[in-house]
Amino acid sequence: MARQIDIKGIRDGLLIRVNDGPDFAVYERLRRELEQKRDFLQGGRVTVELGRRPLNREQLAGLQELFVAHDLELWAVIADDGDTRATARELGLATRLSGSATDLEGNARVESANGSAAPKTPPAANALLLRETLRSGRSVWHEGHVVVLGDVNPGAEIIATGNVVVWGRLRGLVHAGVGGDAAAVICALDLSPTQLRIADHIAVAPDDARPATIPEQATVRDGQIVAEPWRKIVDSGQ
């Protein structure tokens, strides 16, 4: 008989696979597994794979609370059910793993006759607006663009499939273009991050102090991340 709960480590943290079975039994089994392995799992990021099992908003929120109670962060839900994926996105959860054979909505990509992924109409722009300062320990994941009206402090991170705009000081880690979008940009009024990532490219801020603070944008050029004045704003006076 297959185990109802399988836990394994993956590149993005922990993957917990929930096999078919009664909802209550699986929830209780998961709670016991987390209790037994609390010391080993503490502080990890969790992806839950549900298969065909549908969960509503209340059930997904209950899972989030369960993981929080065990010092874990639920950040992604992989599900075959479209309504479950839609609800997960409403709760700010990812619905795919980076590098997986699915689109940003979690649907399996259809292969064309020549073996490449068939073209698909891109989803409507999906932006997350945060009117706050992200402090150390805060982690934001969003499938779309992220705009922060505030600072991103050291120890905070933003991970987005689209662009990231910080209307303030960027001192933490930002990963834009997750999933391979090398055309994504990162903009900030003060760009001094601990680390920048765009698609698969990585850059860190130089150690030397800059003489003045100006709005800057980071893009990928010739295979590396470069920062330059944020001309679209500076030149237009907006």
Please indicate whether residue 148 or residue 138 has the higher confidence score (pLDDT).
148
pLDDT tens figures, 112-131: 333 434 444 344 457 888 99
- AA identity, residue 96: R
Q: What global pTM score does this model have?
A: 0.50
Domain covering 127-234, topology: Pectate Lyase C-like (2.160.20)
- Distance CA(24)–CA(169), nearest Å, equals 46
* pLDDT winner (highest mean) among 72-86, 158-172, 198-212: 158-172
Per DSSP (E only), the strands in the chain are 5-10, 13-18, 45-51, 73-79, 127-130, 139-142, 145-148, 157-160, 164-170, 173-176, 186-191, 195-198, 201-203, 216-221, 224-229
Q: How large is the greatest C-alpha to C-alpha distance in the chain, in angstroms?
A: 66
Section 210-220 average pLDDT: 82
Residue 111 reports pLDDT greater than 50: no
Alpha-carbon distance values, 223 to 106, 177, 198, 220 (Å)? 28, 14, 11, 6
Residue 104 reports pLDDT greater than 60: no
Domain 5-90 class in CATH: alpha beta
Q: How confident is the model at residue 106 (pLDDT cuts 50, 70, 90)?
A: very low
- Pick from 196, 205, 146, 143: nearest CA to 173: 196
CA atoms within 13 A on the CB side of 18: 27
Specify the long-range contacts of residues 136-142, CB closer than 8 Å, at least 24 apart: 136/172, 139/73, 139/75, 141/75, 141/76, 141/92, 141/93, 141/94, 142/92
65-79, 87-101, 158-172, range with the lowest pLDDT? 87-101
User: Domains of the chain: which residue ranges?
Assistant: 5-90, 127-234
Please indicate whether residue 95 or residue 4 has the higher confidence score (pLDDT).
95
Q: How many CB atoms lie within 10 A of CB 218?
A: 26
Q: What is the pLDDT of residue 96?
A: 73
Provide the mean pLDDT of the chain: 78
Section 154-158 average pLDDT: 88
Q: How many CB atoms lie within 10 A of CB 189?
A: 17
**Dihedral of alpha carbons 191, 197, 198, 204, sign:** positive
50-59, 95-104, 134-143, range with the lowest pLDDT? 95-104
Q: What is the pLDDT of residue 98?
A: 55
> Structure tokens of 160?
């987005």
pLDDT tens figures, 7-59: 777 766 788 888 765 555 667 888 888 888 776 676 678 888 988 888 899 98
Can you name the residues that pair with 76 across neighbouring β-strands? 47, 94
Q: What is the pLDDT of residue 25?
A: 64
Can you name the residues that pair with 69 across neighbouring β-strands? none
Section 163-189 average pLDDT: 93
Q: What is the pLDDT of residue 13?
A: 73
